[in-house]
Amino acid sequence: MVIGVLKEAQAGETRVAATPATVEQLLKLGYEVVVEREAGEASSFTDDAYVDAGASIGDALSADVVFGVNAPSKAQLDGLKQGATLVSLLSPRLDQDMVDDLARRPITALSMDAVPRISRAQSLDVLSSMANIAGYRAVVEAAHTYGRFFTGQVTAAGKVNPAKVLVAGVGVAGLAAIGAAGSMGAIVYATDPRPEVADQVKSLGGEYLSVESAEAEVSATGYAKEMSDDYNQRAADLYAKLAPDVDIIITTALIPGRPAPTLITADMVASMKAGSVIVDMAAANGGNVEGTVKGRSVVTENGVTIIGYTDLAGRLPAQASQLYGTNLVNLMKLMTPEKDGVLVLDFDDVVQRSMTIVRQGELTWPPPEVQVSAAPAARAGGSASAPEPVAPPEPMSDDKRLVIVLAAATVFFILAAIAPATLVPHLTVFALAIVIGYYVIGHVHHALHTPLMSVTNAISGIIVVGGLIQIGRHDDGITAISTLAILLASINVFGGFAVTRRMLAMFSRS
């Protein structure tokens, strides 16, 4: 079978559905590849590069399987041959006219933006791939417009405070934005109605700001759900409080199949400092910010720039094309089980079933709902089963601690009484080493409490104790060696703590 790669008909589209690297992978699956002339020019992939990879340049519409990025134009759809399989971003949740048009044609159509969010389908999840790029690019656009440092600096010309960035919505795009902004040195705050993302935010160096509400729960679909008026009001209060203090806001909130919710009102924008920047990543679906203009960057009366670009992923065309092309290759691997260049559509596979809009002219949209999360199922009464609270362990009482210490001391003195005289000094050294080693290790910051740090501090503590005991011997050689051992071990312990303190200070932000 032949795979055709379309030149995008949508104005301004810079991506292409296959790159020379992905063409080579498609050929290994047994397919022939035809690329439309100049299809990859906007992504810096020349026709010669495709030919060198093993593809041919020609009519992509005549192929058995046709790859595209966006929904094809009417002329392109009319040019598909009967029985062809179209694979593209068709937006079936938002474009009912496109779904109806496809249903009138004797073709099979798979939408790459309908991939279910399950672990097995992550390798072909285009929405995640493009959102990752878009989140990174949103920070780049914000930094370019902001015109100041993201990281804090102390220079001869004065102190520069780090930029404060608020990311509203911690999906794939939000996480990419948090990582990019944090790596540039900004202080990053993030909000999301799904509490399970808090650890992800912290792992990237951001601070998760929760909206206290009974609605916050583990997502069962992989997406944030539409929230109630009470939750929205609580969130609005939080945004209103943060808006005057932050320098950059990046909004990513989208609900599949619905217009984007409004998160940042005009009053919040008006409260922001002049020179602040807002990147509305939901501009294509109406925007999360009042005043967003789809596809444009505008400046408000108080000097706040609102960026409503809808092509953030396309602003890194080579990278976006490579990731999108890889997603398509992974789909072909799934649908070509024998690697013989024959496409097999398996409706028993939940991934392929969920993506299929039309099968040989038969409408198959919408697909059955797919449970994608391990969220606890609701009981018959309608309430989700909650785990019973576990009582924290009671702290040890002072009396109990005293009894244990006295018992240990008694055992030690009994052992000292019955042990040979030569063993008593060794028991003393052992006991002191345990005490000093415990305090040396116990005062290491938990973030740096690695096995290596623990072992070296414990050994250094033992050396200090041994040196103190031996330094009183009536032997100049032993005294000199003991003094040197105490000096070096002390430097190791106290110097280690000094370095640790400086390392922690590097990561503290004021």
**Which are the catalytic amino acids?**
117, 122, 125, 128, 223
Region of 158 please: left (phi>0), alpha (psi -120 to 50) or beta: left
What is the C-alpha separation between 92 and 127, in angstroms, rounded?
A: 14
Give the whole-angstrom CA distance, residue 491 versus residue 487.
Answer: 6
Edge-to-edge strands of the sheet including 362-363? 56-57, 32-35, 2-5, 65-67, 85-88, 108-111, 356-359, 362-363
- Identity of the residue numbered 292: T
Q: What's the rounded Cα separation, in Å, for the pair 380 and 378?
A: 7
SS3 readout for 222-274: CCCCCCCHHHHHHHHHHHHHHCCCCCEEEECCCCCCCCCCCCECHHHHHHCCC
CA–CA gap between residue 460 and residue 200 (Å, rounded): 37
Q: Please give the Cα distance from 478 to 480 (Å, whole number).
A: 5
Q: What is the rounded CA–CA span in Å between residue 178 and residue 200?
A: 10
Q: Does an H or E element contain 464, and which?
A: helix 451-470
CA distance 18 to 6: 9
What is the number of other CB atoms lying within 10 angstroms of the CB of residue 18? Answer: 31
Pairing of strands 207-208, 248-251: unpaired
Return phi, psi of residue 191, to 5°.
-130, 150
